[in-house]
Amino acid sequence: MKRIQAYKFELMPDGQQQNHMRRFAGSCRFVFNRALALQKERYERREKRLGYAGLCKLLTEWRNSQETAWLADAPVHPLQQSLKNLERAYANFFAQRAACPRFKKKGQSERFRYPDTRQIKLEQGNSRLFLPKLGWLRYRNSREVLGTVKNVTVSQLCGKWFVSIQTEREVEPPLPNGNAVGIDMGIARFATFSTGSYLAPLNSFTQHETRLRKAQRAMSRKTKFSNNWKKAKARIQRIHARIGNVRRDYLHKATTAISHNHALVIVEDLQVRNMSASAGGSLEAPGRHVRAKSGLNKHILDQGWFEFRRQLQYKLAWNAGRLLAVPPRNTSRTCPHCGHVSRHNRQTQTEFRYVECGFEGHADVVGAINVLRAGHAQLACGEDISHPTPAKVKRAASAKQEPTEATLARFDHSPERRKNPRSSGRGGCQNPKSFAHMPDRILHPREIPCDKIARHILHNRITLPLDR
């Protein structure tokens, strides 16, 4: 089994090497923008789009031309890689996987790649790396690079240079470890498991919001494009980078622990773009509770649900696990015992009380159990039990929406609310080091939808305890 993995380190170049890397990044950006402009001109003239081979011929002409002779100072392979990136961007656009390619701006996504491994030398013992036309570069060696080097990408972020080394190595096929678990994503609780445990939210943006606001106010008072304005802008960039680094560190620790302890993870297929849409409305039809919805959107985007799902997917694949996404509709409104769906079952943010049988429990735990059952039903029976349509129940307007009363109470910024702030109520795994010690329990037999699930679990070697 081949595993492709990337290792990212911080570079420590000298002044001359920094100038060379900035020029190389600018050359790659120029080649990308010029090739994109050429493709758009050919499209306006109703001509056929040039392929990668045709663009490489033009690249040779640009390097030999007197107007763009400075392109010859940059290594040729990173320039060709920029043309490959443009070709891939067009392929994704025609496949409706991404938007139309756009021109790159200076200072945004400054990076270039060396795809030829024969020109790359890595000495881990001396913590240095050799790159064409840059020489030996020192880097902060934090861990061992395993496997054969495939390519190297040099990037810049907040004035610092980083190197990403992609490797490929053979590993033994792993065996799945652990049982199945359902995860309910939320705001008060970042991730609630069907076992009853949960992860508390980090809220990295909220922690640095005051500092960021002060830096933005200081920048607004500076003369635009002055030296002090550039310093203030760099300070804001460092704060944003800090927020992103803290969030990614938290998500990596959480997803690593989950992937090691569970063979099957079932999550909600949340549409974050729709959930975080603005409620401002228009001049003809202005929105309601705009300020409360704005606070809710800020907290939704601060959680990093998409990045959590992305990390879980590839880490579970490394450990022979599987990630399954199910529709989130009515997962927090369905009784786990009889399957009855009613919006009256969940009156508050945390309380779940079945109106007929009197079952009580935490709403997030009930949602995680229903997510687990929906995933089992899809795997074993090919059913979708997340969309029940009883005769007495009307369909909800949104896929996953928390109660309006609780949402408005939680994210209301009115003066009355400031006088009586809510209690923290944070519990669970506050320390990321305690992720590996999450409790587990045996599933109730009534949480298993049908007998086909047991055969599916035994066939796929999933150690799910069945009490039949």
Residues with a catalytic annotation lie at 184, 268, 364
Question: Which residues, including other chains, have CB under 8 Å from residue 170's CB and lie 6 or more apart?
Answer: 1, 2, 3
Shortest CA distance to 374 belongs to which of 339, 322, 399, 402?
339
Residues present in the chain in total: 468
Q: Under DSSP, is residue 381 helix (H, G, I), strand (E, B) or coil?
A: coil
Tokens 């020192």 belong to: 138
Residues 6+ apart with CB under 8 A from 351: 360, 362, 363
What is the three-class DSSP state of 359?
Answer: coil
The kind and range of the H/E element at 311 are helix 305-318
Give the DSSP letter string of 167-207.
EEEE-PPP---SEEEEEEE-SSSSEEETTS-EE----HHHH
- Tally the C-alpha atoms within 13 A of residue 8's C-alpha that lie toward its C-beta: 9
Q: Which helix (H) or strand (E) holds 352?
A: strand 351-353
What gap in Å lies between CA 254 and CA 233, rounded to an integer?
32
Three-state SS annotation for 74-93: CCHHHHHHHHHHHHHHHHHH
Q: Are 273 and 392 in contact (CB under 8 A)?
A: no
Antiparallel, parallel or unpaired: β 111-114 and 2-12? unpaired
